[in-house]
Amino acid sequence: MTPDWTVLTEELARWRAVGLTLPLWWRDDDAVAMTPALERLAALSARLGMPLHLAVIPAHADETLAEAVAAHPNLVPLVHGWTHENHAPAEEKKAEFGAHRPRAAMRADTELALARTQALFGARLRPVFVPPWNRIAPDLLPDLAAQGYAAVSTFTPRKTPLAAPGLLQINTHLDPIAWKTTRGLADPDTLIAQIARQLADRREGRADNAEPYGVLTHHLVHDDAIWSFAETLLARLLDGPTWRWTFPAPPAERTGT
């Protein structure tokens, strides 16, 4: 069945009519190595001219990924937990950095994670912490800022621009995968309606349009339907009143020093 994009097309037309512009960004989780799937994703990023923010699992990332980032200017590495290991009790939702762990142990892991990714990617790294499963204990957030992280990224619209003093909150908002059922593409028409509602909330002032709208993908588990939907979605959004947002470079990189 061909998805019906009408509601999104109409919503983007309303944005044009009132002169609004949508900041748009793209995050892909669980990168550890250069694989055929990641090569395909990097090629899509280049074709669309869209920066691709790779949430990298530090403990498992290898040199092939560092080489890929060096070779592809559109790839922007972020920090995705430490080992991406679930520490939650069986009856709770999965989390590596949930409130059930000692804060000191989590602090040690986030410090290791930043050091490891800095060693791999150097100035290309953006010090953004992406907690696995998009869950993080609130009392850990100030520690991230103190360790040198500039932002945290989870899922769903943010409540405030800052997660903690000195720590931006820049979330993702749409994940096309039906994780709880088939682990394939969720119903496309439902996804399109969800995007249109989210954009209407921004246009009508119920959500923060200063927060970049984030599309979330997971290249290692994509099937053909997910690949096709993600490409079509990004292309349609980029054809609207949007601009390609990316996490800013560190000051030294911006000035060339």
> Tens digit of pLDDT for each residue in 189-205?
999 999 999 999 999 99
Residue 251: what pLDDT?
63
Task: Report if residue 252 sits inside a domain.
Answer: no
Q: Residue 92: what are its φ and ψ, rounded to 5°?
A: -110, 165
Task: Report if residue 134 sits inside a domain.
Answer: yes
Percent of the chain with pLDDT over 90: 94
Task: Report if residue 198 sits inside a domain.
Answer: yes
Residue 256: what pLDDT?
44
Residue 90: what pLDDT?
87
Q: Taking the C-alpha atoms of 194, 199, 202 and 203 in order, what is their torsion angle to the nearest 10 degrees?
A: -130
Closest listed residue to residue 112, CA positions, set 150, 60, 170: 60
State the pLDDT confidence band at 82, using cuts at 50, 70 and 90: very high
Task: Report if residue 206 sits inside a domain.
Answer: yes
Task: Report if residue 171 sits inside a domain.
Answer: yes
Task: Report if residue 80 sits inside a domain.
Answer: yes
Closest listed residue to residue 50, CA positions, set 250, 254, 233, 255: 233
Average pLDDT of the chain, as a whole number: 95
Does the structure show a pLDDT above 60 at 252?
no
The answer to whether the Cα torsion of 117, 120, 126, 132 is positive or negative is negative
Residue 255: what pLDDT?
43
Does the structure show a pLDDT above 70 at 177?
yes
In angstroms, rounded to a whole number, what is the distance separating the alpha carbons of residues 184 and 225? 8
Residue 69 is part of a domain; what is its CATH number?
Answer: 3.20.20.370
Place of tokens 């040690």: 108
Does the structure show a pLDDT above 50 at 257?
no
Residue 200: what pLDDT?
98
Does the structure show a pLDDT above 80 at 85?
yes
Range of the domain at 96: 6-241
Task: Report if residue 255 sits inside a domain.
Answer: no
- Alpha-helix residue ranges (DSSP H) falling in the chain: 6-18, 36-48, 63-71, 103-121, 141-147, 188-203, 224-238, 251-255
The per-residue pLDDT for range 34-60, each reduced to its tens digit, is 999 999 999 999 999 999 999 999 999
Q: Residue 13: what are its φ and ψ, rounded to 5°?
A: -65, -35
Residue 214: what pLDDT?
98
Strand partners, 31: 56
Domain count within the chain: 1
Task: Report if residue 250 sits inside a domain.
Answer: no
- Give the DSSP H/E element, type plus range, for residue 89: none
Does the structure show a pLDDT above 80 at 228?
yes
